[in-house]
Structure 1
Amino acid sequence: MLKAAKQALFSTGLQNPKFTAEEKKGQDYEVRTYHATKWVSTSLSGMQWDAALNAGFRRLFSYIQGNNHNKVKVEMTAPVTCRVAPGAGPACESEFTVSFYIPEELQDNPPQPSDPEVFVEHRKEFTAYVRTYGGFSNENLRHEELLKLLESLKRDGVQYVDKPFYSAGYDSPFKLTNRRNEVWVLQKQQD
């Protein structure tokens, strides 16, 4: 328990999903192709990104603490991603899917969740445009950074999928300096 709490608090040294980075086209974003991997996820509906992230994180933290069929403790990984499928209008609920990457050693056979609201998700390989920023992130900051990323992609004439989009956080709330946050927009597949 203490080891998992320490890992959740200080994210240095946590396993991350593998990706291949392309040559940087612009100075303000990266292009990454993430390999096919499994993630443990939970979905929520709501109006507030921060509230959904917090509730989703708690469910997934319970899973890695042993709330799974094997009663296995799972190492904390980074990033914690949040997939956002915005609602149709300003007063509509959005769909949020909060996810933890499943560590390499459990990728072939992840423990099945005990909580019916938690599931193992197999993400196919995908390419994302990634904007990185520091500090303590919140809903407003994520929106601002997402808009900056979209402006950069439009400037560069890049084809992208406008929704869903992702946020990614790499640090615990207790890490005070050198924080890393990202917003991801998926690359549009060529026909």
Structure 2
Amino acid sequence: MALISLEDLDGLDDEQIAEETADGSEAREEMESQRLLNHWQAVGRTHHVSVPTEMTGPIQEMTRQNQQREQIPFTNISCQDKLGEGLIEEKVCPGGMWACVTRREELYEQSISNAFMKLMRFICKENSAGRYLGMTIPIVNIIHLTQDGSAFEKDVVTAYYLPSEFQANPPEAADPEVSIVFRPPFPVLARTFSGTTTEETLSHQIHQLWEHLGPSGDFQRDSYMVAVYTNPGVEQRRNEIWFLHRDP
């Protein structure tokens, strides 16, 4: 790269300097966008998912807004930190409006990755409000076990709790696969864990929590929820497995 001397700067007028500064900023922004896309595409390959170039905008927007995240307003009932077993909490998820996508892929991680990309586009302006809606955490994935309990059903629902600003008047999604639904409050028993969320790791977490609970008829054995607090581009993710109470 050639150095610019003071004489060179004296020969530039203000407008030319502004243009060249803007050109440099645009180039840097384009490089950063490409870097982010490349990173997400690399992560996607580990999930056997292709991240298309049209995800560049939503990825950039979500990254820029990363610090502005609204926590779902849980009501905490109890909490215990079991040595070597992780944090185990009882809490109530509030009633509210959720944006949901159902996918049926060969692998669980393919279903949640493709669903989350659809939700990202909905959050990042592909909605009737025409604006960035804001991120809430956690994103929740709903899974069902086969009748013999040996594997996951293929249909997986990925759900995004709408920010408080949009709870009373939810925007519509441009994508017909994104549906807005109301879910009443529901209690859960949550176990915290870190790392990736695959069918194998989740099956292990379910088994671990059942070992902690022992024989119990209070919780469903065929349906669970997985709460994800960090995006798929992060290696060490914070997650929870939620056990759902049986209907009274």
Tell me whether the two structures share a fold, i.e. TM-score over 0.5: yes
- C-alpha contact 1:46 1:52 (8 A) present in aligned 2: yes
Aligned to 2:238: 180
CA distance, structure 2, for counterparts of residue 14 and residue 85 of structure 1: 28
Aligned to 1:129: 189
Is 1:161 equivalent to 2:216 in the alignment? no
**CA deviation after TM superposition for structure 1 residue 3, in Å:** 4.6
Is 1:189 equivalent to 2:229 in the alignment? no
- Secondary structure at 2:230's aligned position in 1? coil
Summarize the Cα distance change of 1:116–1:144 in structure 2 as closer, same or farther, 3 Å threshold.
Answer: same
**CA deviation after TM superposition for structure 1 residue 166, in Å:** 0.8
- C-alpha contact 2:144 2:152 (8 A) present in aligned 1: no
**CA deviation after TM superposition for structure 1 residue 149, in Å:** 1.4
- C-alpha contact 1:47 1:92 (8 A) present in aligned 2: no
Is 1:21 equivalent to 2:79 in the alignment? no
Aligned to 2:211: 151
- Secondary structure at 1:163's aligned position in 2? strand
Summarize the Cα distance change of 1:68–1:149 in structure 2 as closer, same or farther, 3 Å threshold.
Answer: same
CA distance, structure 2, for counterparts of residue 143 and residue 24 of structure 1: 23
Number of equivalenced pairs = 185
Equivalent residues in 2 for 1:18-167, closer than 5 Å = 18-24=73-79, 27=82, 28=85, 29-88=88-147, 93-154=153-214, 157=216, 159-167=218-226
Summarize the Cα distance change of 1:91–1:84 in structure 2 as closer, same or farther, 3 Å threshold.
Answer: closer
Percent of aligned pairs sharing the same letter: 23
Q: Structure 1: give runs of 5+ residues left out of the alignment.
A: none
- Cα-Cα RMSD: 2.4
Structure 1 stretches of 4+ with a deviation exceeding 6 A read: none
- Secondary structure at 1:22's aligned position in 2? strand
| Cα deviation digits, residues 2-55 of structure 1 (max 9, x gap) | 453234xx4x55112111111236835211111101111111223421010001
Identify the structure with the greater helix proportion: 2
Higher relative contact order (CA 8 A, sep 6+): 1
- C-alpha contact 1:161 1:186 (8 A) present in aligned 2: yes
Q: Structure 2: give runs of 5+ residues left out of the alignment.
A: 1-56
Kindly name which structure, 1 or 2, has the bigger radius of gyration based on alpha carbons: 2
Greater shift, 84-93 or 39-48, is seen at 84-93
- C-alpha contact 1:127 1:186 (8 A) present in aligned 2: yes
